[in-house]
Amino acid sequence: MQLFQHQPIKLYNSLTGKKETFKPINEGYVGMYVCGPTVYSNVHLGNVRTFMSFDMVFRYLKHLGYKVRYVRNITDAGHLENDADAGEDKITKKARLEQIEPMEVVQRYTVDFHNILNTFNFLPPSIEPTATGHIIEQIELIKNIIDNGFAYEVNGSVYFDVHKFNETNDYGKLSKRKLDDLIHNTRELDGQSDKKNPQDFALWKKAEPQHIMRWPSPWSDGFPGWHLECTAMSTKYLGDQFDIHGGGMDLKFPHHECEIAQNEAAKGKSPVNYWMHANMLELNGQRMSKTTGNTVNPDELLSGNNKFFSKAYAPGVIRFFNAQSSYRSVLDLTDDGLLASEKGFYRLMDAVNLLGDLKASERSTIDVNAWKQSCYDAMNDDFNSPILIAHLFEAAKYINQIKEGSETLSTEDLNTFKSTINAFVFDVLGLENNTKSDSGTDKLSGAVDILIKLRQEARANRDFAMSDKIRDELAEVGIQLKDGKDGTTFSTN
């Protein structure tokens, strides 16, 4: 029996606005699509937060025994500035400014994207399709929408008819927006005169003479609209209806709203059962913005080469920091927050490093199965990683108590305890334990061992003042000595 059969998940569905029991279309199988990056610049730290959240979801579904097909796309064409239907393609603009080919831009920043995600210990998706690799599928999708009466062609461009669609469907049901409100709040854009209504959006754009990235179609040499690519790729690899569609909160409207409309217009059915949206990442209480300078990229955070943070932070610390907040909550990136997470991360890893030293006893004084289920209960409640971490710190306390001899575990319970901790720390949260091999940590251990020996000598000589001084001064710098029946150990906090 697989774990998912007795560990039901409740997840928050953005479409309905409530938590629902997750039931995949096909038992034991999950199809999940997450909107990937537009590769015209280095990956944004806010995007990393979103992808990190869905990496954790992916990991937990796999841990439960689901066979998961995780599709995360690469947008390498058709994404205009300000996500509008007019203007310049972001990749083409970058290529023009740097006087290189658009695909050189794509290659450079796709490599950067993968390098950053590898640094943070992401699992690769099952499929990573590109927009340019699915032009044929997008053209066929447009044909279906036109044939069904929900799109029209003007001067070589094709637009989705939002008003026509809304006569029989509910445009705005994901973002909870009404078409009448959108009509009153529409901003005029260049080239909008081709549309029947300002709310209509491009499925295909005729390329201007200077536009480099273009493909032949029945309507013109041009390029697909941004919203179209995700509809084409998600349904190609996951079917006309699939289980989970994820992305950042900023994509809910118009991108995801348009995805729903396109799929319903082309195939007569809503594409996704559960919509999940990760919330925004702020920097020191304010929205990240290149224009205001309130931004930091992943490399700068990892290297410490920035004006916001007092030091460099390890990838595991940043990943741990992210997991200490619900994926649906706004996360404020601050130096104090990262320093606190760093202490917590190493305290947890210090405890994990002691697991191999624990000895089994004849009986257990800890209800391991109840603690284990509490970990599952946390993740089953909409992937509540902050509560899971609280239970892992409870386990760290147990580890130290078992080491000191104040609590005991039987052989069976100790094996369950160890396997559960390793599963949630490494497999689900995706943390890496680099403390054992870290040369700085090895040097610290050696130095503290010398002080422990000096303290033992002081106690043997009944020099309790010196013994207490060594203990207290180590505590002041965050190193706690613990006296147990097997000797003295230490931990950092």
The answer to whether the beta carbons of residues 238 and 72 sit under 8 Å apart is no
Q: Is the dihedral of CA 418, 422, 423, 429 positive or negative?
A: positive
Could you list the residues known to form a binding site for ATP, using ranges: 290
The answer to whether the beta carbons of residues 19 and 12 sit under 8 Å apart is yes
Q: What are phi and psi of 270, to 5 degrees?
A: -75, 135
How far, in Å, CA of 78 to CA of 211, rounded?
A: 11
The answer to whether the beta carbons of residues 212 and 226 sit under 8 Å apart is no
The answer to whether the beta carbons of residues 48 and 120 sit under 8 Å apart is yes
Mutual angle of helices 102-119 and 45-63, in 10-degree steps: 60
Q: Omega into 254 within 30° of 0, i.e. cis?
A: yes
Could you list the residues known to form a binding site, using ranges: 35, 230, 255, 259, 290
Site of tokens 């094996």: 415
Non-local CB neighbours of 162 within 8 Å, separated by 6+ positions:
171, 179, 197, 199, 200, 201, 261
DSSP secondary structure string for all residues of 65-128: T-EEEEEE-BB-S--BGGG-SSS-BHHHHHHHHHTS-HHHHHHHHHHHHHHHHHHTTPPPPSB-
How far, in Å, CA of 9 to CA of 3, rounded?
A: 11
Chain CA centroid to CA 42, Å: 17
Could you list the residues known to form a binding site for Zn(2+), using ranges: 35, 230, 255, 259
Tell me whether residue 387 is exposed, middle or buried, using C-beta atoms within 10 angstroms of its C-beta: 0 to 12, 13 to 18, 19 or more.
Answer: middle
Q: Contacts by 175-178 with C-beta closer than 8 Å and gap 24+?
A: 175/252, 175/253, 175/254, 175/256, 175/257, 176/17, 177/253, 177/257
The answer to whether the beta carbons of residues 122 and 319 sit under 8 Å apart is no
